[in-house]
Chain A
Amino acid sequence: MSTLTVTTEDVADFYSLEAEHLDRADVTGWLDLLTEDVDYRVPIRVVREKAGKPVESDFSHRGHFMWENYGTLRTRVLRLESEFAWAEQPPTRTRRLVTNIRRRDGLGGDPEHDVRVLSNFAIYCYRGDSPEPFVLTGERDDLLRVVGDDLRLARRVVYLDTNVLGTHALSIFL
């Protein structure tokens, strides 16, 4: 597989596989879908006056809900696998819907190895005995790297729609 032969279907399959791991609380399996130089960020949205600038200007450059590399993500997974990580013990029941997948070929990353993809997501999170989910929605800006016959996540920036989290804690991956 090369960046030239990656199809939109391949990309959609990757996101489905990723969501399957995360929705089944298989966070170790999810780690295997990342490159070891992964850069994973969830910047804080700051509501400002509309200035006609791109989406990035609505987000803090320094403030992040998550700002991770492979080592820090592996550390979070290590904790989640402990039986005493109360925020995920019992685990949040999640359902991830990934839609509006858009290729941005050649815009970012190494065009020989990386495919840039924008997508929208909705994550429904159920905790305790409440029938009402917390819902997190937003846009993801990813670089997917071609590794052999597979795709791996090499970079992700998650642009949440909310500026204030309603979820008690951010103990899941987006």
Chain B
Amino acid sequence: MTTHDERPRERVDDLLAHMGEDLERGMVPAEVFNDKSVYRRELRQIFGRCWVYIGHVSEIPNNGDYHVRRIGEDPFIFVRDEEGEIRVMLNSCRHRGSTVCRTDAGNTSHFRCPYHAWTYKNDGTLVGVPARPSGYRQLDLGQWSMISAAQVDTFRGLVFATLDPDAPALEDYLGKFRWYLDMQFALTEGGMEVIGEPHRWYIDADWKSGGENFTGDSSHTQMTHRSLLETGIASEAGAGKTGKAHGLHVNDCDGHAISMRVMPPGVESCFNYPPEMQELFTEGGLSEAQLDLVRRGVVHDGTVFPNLSFIHFSAKDDVEKEETAFLSIRTWQPRGPGRMEVWNWTLAPAEASQEFKEKAYRAGMASFSPSGTFEQDDAIVWTGVARTGGTLTAELQDLRFNYQMGMPGMGSAEPIEDWPGPGVAWPSNSGESGLRTFHRKWFAHMTALPRASRPSSAAAGSTSASTSAGEGAS
């Protein structure tokens, strides 16, 4: 077994050796956005340990409904079994590893491998193996179920899974950040509902560029999304123009962070939800402090570490029409060094009319999707970050990027002392505290002791038949 200390030294070790100090000074090594050794370490240390978003319960309303998803680069099946239980299982046959589900989505009672026809119930139990009487007389089917993620749990309709059996409970992993997630996902008694299938698209950019941006990169809006201000497609308040709405950044919330733009106290905005829907928002169980941030809300965007982000916003698909509220959630899936696949879903309160859900979908698609007028330009700027991260110059000059905006001595704002919620709240858009939270969490996971592989589990399927048959001699 290879231990942490016995690994040959790689570039990622050099970067991590000085990154703690870099973060203290508000800097992040450029190479973490595009380096093979960083990427390989991330898959193990981040995606092998953290709770990763899989999908929403409303995507699999019926028993047998399934979608294929990923944890890191690993393919999983997200399915509701015949008992109604949600399963997250490696999309791989226990016999010889071939892919058992080769579609994006559907409904099925069984998964049958196209290689040798090993057949599993949709809860992963092996129920069919051809030629059992002549070839597998002592095969214990119970020991050859499909491989599940180590833990699967749901919060407010959001299904997460982790490969780490020793990871803390999901509730503890989300921690105090649940206070902010409630404002997005528990507005009404019925919670939020996914509309339609996800958008999927590749960007030649690192997954962390999406994750860090959504924690509260407020200062990019004025430049990256300037076309929307110039044309009036985005409102001045929504785009963060000074004086039109208050900027709030909340960082260090158990490793997660959120940015909010809200109207001044007493001024309602409520993401432009229609009045009849706002009336339902007292039914979700939110506290008065949470409801106040919702009622004044222009935009809330945040990231659940590592790669689930959300934006609760309103947008117009037609410059001459009104804005419509929507909630977008997305995962930034790693697909190689400096490359990601984005998955994007648009949501609306479950109680909303079909007409409103359609409007919300179109507003979300028009702004945050591959064709979205906001998102198109984000993708372009993030490709440049990965390009720089992959340069030889970055390595030779130990290039660091600047994350100092709003740091002590830099920013004029002070944390809000009587902030009603968890985390550290700043009354300003002029800061990158959420991004620093993201990278500190990343650093903590990257430098944590790796999980030992478990030789016992790998051998669990072997039986006495394999040794007594004496095939090894032939």
Whether A78 touches B231, Cβ cut-off 8 Å, given contacts A168-B380, A168-B383, is yes
Residue A149 CB within 8 A of the other chain: no
> Which segment, of B84-92, B157-165, B194-202, B236-244, faces chain A?
B194-202
CA of A61 to CA of B197 in the docked complex: distance in angstroms?
Answer: 9
- The listed residue with most B CB atoms (<10 A of its CB), out of A42, A74, A78, is A78
Distance (whole angstroms) from the CB of B246 to the closest CB of chain A: 25
Distance (whole angstroms) from the CB of A21 to the closest CB of chain B: 19
The residues of B that contact A61 with a CB separation of less than 8 Å are 196
Residue A102 CB within 8 A of the other chain: no
CA of A163 to CA of B106 in the docked complex: distance in angstroms?
Answer: 15
The residues of A that contact B132 with a CB separation of less than 8 Å are none
Further pairs besides A62-B358, A75-B316, A79-B231: 18, Cβ < 8 Å:
A47-B102, A48-B104, A62-B361, A63-B199, A65-B365, A66-B371, A69-B318, A71-B319, A71-B321, A82-B231, A84-B226, A87-B376, A87-B380, A165-B202, A167-B202, A169-B377, A169-B379, A171-B371
The residues of A that contact B365 with a CB separation of less than 8 Å are 64-67
CA of A87 to CA of B199 in the docked complex: distance in angstroms?
Answer: 18
Binding site for A on B (CB under 8 A): 102-106, 195-204, 224, 226-228, 230-231, 233, 316-321, 341, 358, 361-362, 365-366, 369-371, 373, 375-377, 379-381, 383
The residues of A that contact B320 with a CB separation of less than 8 Å are 71, 75
CA of A79 to CA of B362 in the docked complex: distance in angstroms?
Answer: 17
CA of A71 to CA of B316 in the docked complex: distance in angstroms?
Answer: 11
Of A76, A79, A163, which one neighbours B104 at CB under 8 angstroms?
A163
Chain A contacts with B in 133-174, Cβ cutoff 8 A: 163-171
CA of A25 to CA of B380 in the docked complex: distance in angstroms?
Answer: 18
CA of A170 to CA of B379 in the docked complex: distance in angstroms?
Answer: 10
CA of A65 to CA of B230 in the docked complex: distance in angstroms?
Answer: 24
Could you list 21 A-B pairs, sorted by A, with CB under 8 Å?
A44-B199, A47-B104, A64-B361, A65-B199, A69-B318, A72-B318, A75-B233, A75-B366, A76-B373, A79-B231, A82-B231, A85-B376, A86-B224, A86-B376, A87-B376, A165-B200, A165-B201, A167-B202, A168-B203, A169-B201, A169-B203
Count class of interface residues, chain A: 35 or more
Distance (whole angstroms) from the CB of A139 to the closest CB of chain B: 19
Whether A62 touches B195, Cβ cut-off 8 Å, given contacts A164-B200, A164-B202, A164-B341, is yes
B230 touches A82 (CB 8 A): yes
Of A62, A85, A169, which one neighbours B371 at CB under 8 angstroms?
A169
Distance (whole angstroms) from the CB of A96 to the closest CB of chain B: 17
Distance (whole angstroms) from the CB of A166 to the closest CB of chain B: 5
CA of A62 to CA of B105 in the docked complex: distance in angstroms?
Answer: 15
CA of A44 to CA of B316 in the docked complex: distance in angstroms?
Answer: 21
Binding site for B on A (CB under 8 A): 42, 44, 46-49, 60-69, 71-72, 74-76, 78-79, 82, 84-88, 163-171
Which residue of chain B is the closest to A174 with respect to CB atoms? B371
CA of A64 to CA of B366 in the docked complex: distance in angstroms?
Answer: 10
Distance (whole angstroms) from the CB of A23 to the closest CB of chain B: 19
A65 touches B196 (CB 8 A): no
Which residue of chain B is the closest to A45 with respect to CB atoms? B104
- The listed residue with most B CB atoms (<10 A of its CB), out of A79, A164, A169, is A169
B198 touches A72 (CB 8 A): no
Distance (whole angstroms) from the CB of B287 to the closest CB of chain A: 33
Of A44, A46, A79, which one neighbours B228 at CB under 8 angstroms?
A79
Whether A46 touches B105, Cβ cut-off 8 Å, given contacts A86-B381, A169-B371, is yes
CA of A135 to CA of B321 in the docked complex: distance in angstroms?
Answer: 34
The residues of B that contact A84 with a CB separation of less than 8 Å are 226-227, 230
Distance (whole angstroms) from the CB of B332 to the closest CB of chain A: 14
A44 touches B375 (CB 8 A): no
Whether A86 touches B196, Cβ cut-off 8 Å, given contacts A65-B369, A171-B371, is no
CA of A87 to CA of B230 in the docked complex: distance in angstroms?
Answer: 16
Of A49, A63, A75, A76, which one neighbours B197 at CB under 8 angstroms?
A63
Which residue of chain A is the closest to B377 with respect to CB atoms? A86
Distance (whole angstroms) from the CB of A48 to the closest CB of chain B: 5
B375 touches A169 (CB 8 A): yes
The residues of A that contact B366 with a CB separation of less than 8 Å are 72, 75
The residues of A that contact B381 with a CB separation of less than 8 Å are 86
The residues of B that contact A65 with a CB separation of less than 8 Å are 199, 365, 369-371
- The listed residue with most B CB atoms (<10 A of its CB), out of A63, A74, A88, A167, is A63
CA of A164 to CA of B226 in the docked complex: distance in angstroms?
Answer: 28
- The listed residue with most A CB atoms (<10 A of its CB), out of B103, B321, B341, B365, is B365
The residues of A that contact B201 with a CB separation of less than 8 Å are 164-170
A48 touches B106 (CB 8 A): yes
Distance (whole angstroms) from the CB of A16 to the closest CB of chain B: 25
B204 touches A168 (CB 8 A): yes
Which residue of chain B is the closest to A82 with respect to CB atoms? B227
CA of A119 to CA of B58 in the docked complex: distance in angstroms?
Answer: 36
Which residue of chain A is the closest to B343 with respect to CB atoms? A164
Distance (whole angstroms) from the CB of B81 to the closest CB of chain A: 19
CA of A166 to CA of B230 in the docked complex: distance in angstroms?
Answer: 29
